[in-house]
A and B are shown apart, each in its own frame.
Chain A
Amino acid sequence: MIRARNLPFVATVLIFLIAYGLCALQFPNMLSFRVVGNLLTDNAFLGIAAVGMTFVILSGGIDLSVGSVIAFTSVFVAVLIRAGVHPALAFGLALIVSTGFGALMGLTIHALKMPAFVVTLAGMFLARGAAFLISTDSVPISHEFLKTLKGLFIQLPDKGKLSFLAIVMLLAFALGVVLAHRTRFGANVYALGGSEQSAELMGVPLRRTMIQLYAFSGFMAGLAGLAYTLYTSAGYSLATVGVELDAIAAVVVGGTLLTGGSGLVLGTLFGVLIQGLIQTYIVFDGTLSSWWTKIVVGLLLFAFIVLQRLILLISERRAAMRSAAGE
């Protein structure tokens, strides 16, 4: 028996598999490992950002700064590399900056008792503005180190490749799963999302958890920025506008409740893959315009939210019946 809590996750996985099956029926080539490999590579940066977003949403918060932080990181790294800094050092610096930025937002949310929505919105402007300040041009980069990184991959059957980016994304999800389900931090985040007041009464350190939480989201956004830089081989301050919305959509489609407290990190992976699948299908079809992606994602969002409502209603009714039977 599947627990009602996990039903959205199961539904997401099922929908992904069925949709993939339908696509494969129409275009048999979609079953190849090459397509699967590309699906993972093309959505790597979104997936990485979505891991951080999952935690923030699990806690009942939201992080609107993700897209801007990705753009900032990519420009920051690109300009540093152009100036002759070794990419590894630039990557490290970028991660420190993005993590610190996230921590600062977490601290602000806690200390000023302001809604996460407003604070991260200001953070979104700030990060995008900082990216503009560094450079408004697209900065192309090339370096032996980057070529080596891009050259790393695991060979799959029939010319498929599990690229470095795809591996990083899968590792990010693995890290997310461990953090969420096997650490004190994860338990604190779930508790916070259930009810902030109860969490505090239970002894969850609100201030520390809040800072860690947004620092983690900032770190993941920074990592996503690095993945994006590697993916496009350039840094551009106008890039990845609105990625935070894609990430939020992926988290919700992945079965996480936006009110917080309930959801699985792994569900988000499938949320990302479903969005990627729609894009892949549009590419394969060739006649559909890319704006169908938006409409279908909107419809999926709607379907999942209604599904979640129904599950909640059913489980509440079941609980009511059980308590009535017990008396």
Chain B
Amino acid sequence: MKKFRQLRPQLLALAVVLVMVGLISPGFFSVTVQNGRLYGSLIDVGVRVAPVALLAIGMTLVIATKGIDLSVGAVMAITGAVAATLVADGHSVPVVLAVSLALGLLCGIWNGVLVAFLDIQPIIATLILMVAGRGIAQLITGGVILTFNDPAFSFIGSGAVLGIPMPILIWLAMGLAVGLLVRRSALGLLIEAVGINRRASMLVGVRARFLILATYAISGLCAAMAGMIVTADIHGADANNAGLWLELDAILAVVIGGTSLAGGRFSITASLIGALIIQALNTGILMSGWPPEFNLIVKAVVIVTILTLQSPAVADELTMLRDFLRRKGAQK
């Protein structure tokens, strides 16, 4: 119950966005079953959110250590390119999965080494891979959009188990796995300690460098999964556009979820809700039939509103207002 109360602002925001979208486009909440698979706008939101949701999981941990990972979009492009190349060359799905995931992990470790061991500022350390990564991805695909036709690999993007589309299952499973890993052990607490004060945490014996490295590695792994879902979904790798600007959406999802960019307290569930808010907004605007030119403006306005309500300055004001009202109530 306590957990639920902590998530209240995010859940409220999601509910408001969903109701607004539902009012604009009445068919939004209808879910049907066709060919043994769930269909409907709500399900679509769940499927489309998969890349950002996966990125947000890793990003939450990275941001909790007071870091940031700008490279995830580029890592998606790299792993997507490699996966497409391997599939097109006729390698089996397990090999493709293993190589791509390992590659994502490697990219994450590279970022982690730069941040944790060379003490480079996270934003600039990950900027390197963000800038160079897309070039590397194009190097792999040879500058063309690599397409393939492999039902087994495409299953990741468009398949369904028990009627539930695979992308939904993947991000739910990953969120659950990472969430359990950090919350059912002391890892989450230690990550928060590093994010709040790295020096102090090191002095009490937390292996901060290793923990920071691990968060970037997980972020790379999540990016690899997101990259494969996108690649499997479009049956090809587009080095130029795969994951383009998704790092920003992922960061926004984390921030909307209430995790501070200054590090410390984090919540993976809240970040996932943040990702759902962004995606519900995207889908809603698409379905509303408004000209697509409005997309960015509406998105920006909603995000600014949510962030303003959450900002430290406004939060202080609200607390003061509440205390004031409570005191007044007590006087009566």
Contact = CB atoms under 8 A, between A and B. Distances in A.
A258 B313 contact: no
Interface in A108-145: 111-115, 117-118, 121-126, 128-130, 132-133, 136
A11 interface: no
Given A113-B312, A114-B311, A122 B128 contact: no
Interface of A: 62, 64, 111-115, 117-118, 121-126, 128-130, 132-133, 136, 245, 248-249, 252, 258-259, 289, 291-295, 297-299, 301-302, 305-306, 309
A293 B124 CA distance: 18
Contact of A298 (B68, B135, B299): B135
Contacts of B139: 291, 295
Contacts of A293: 135
17 contacts: A113-B311, A113-B313, A114-B312, A128-B296, A129-B300, A136-B293, A245-B127, A245-B130, A245-B131, A248-B127, A249-B131, A258-B124, A294-B131, A294-B134, A297-B132, A298-B131, A301-B131
B189 interface: no
Nearest to A68: B296
Interface in B296-332: 296-301, 303-304, 307-308, 311-314
Given A125-B299, A129-B300, A248-B127, A309 B120 contact: yes
Contacts of B120: 305-306, 309
A289 B68 contact: no
Given A121-B251, A129-B293, A248-B127, 7 more contacts: A117-B261, A118-B255, A132-B297, A133-B294, A258-B123, A301-B127, A302-B128
Interface string B242-282: 00000010011001000001100000000000000000000
B125 interface: yes
B299 A301 contact: no
Interface in B165-218: none
A133 B121 contact: no
Interface residues of B, number: 46
Contacts of A136: 293
A305 B120 CA distance: 7
A214 to B, nearest CB: 15
Contacts of A298: 128-129, 131-133, 135
A64 B251 CA distance: 13
Contacts of A122: 300, 303-304, 307
With a 10 A CB-CB cut-off, give which of B118, B119, B133, B296 has the most chain A CB atoms: B296
A309 B311 contact: no
A295 B128 contact: no
B107 to A, nearest CB: 12
A129 B294 contact: yes
A65 to B, nearest CB: 11
B293 A259 contact: no
Contacts of B296: 125-126, 128-129, 132
A130 B299 CA distance: 12
A233 B128 CA distance: 33
B138 interface: yes
Contacts of B301: 126
Contact of B300 (A126, A297, A302): A126
B27 interface: no
Contacts of B123: 62, 117, 258
B93 interface: no
Given A111-B313, A121-B251, A297-B132, A130 B297 contact: yes
A249 B135 CA distance: 15
A112 B124 contact: no
Contact of A115 (B124, B261, B294, B304): B261
B41 interface: no
Interface string B111-153: 0001000111101110111111111101100010000000000
Contacts of A112: 307-308, 311-314
Nearest to B123: A258
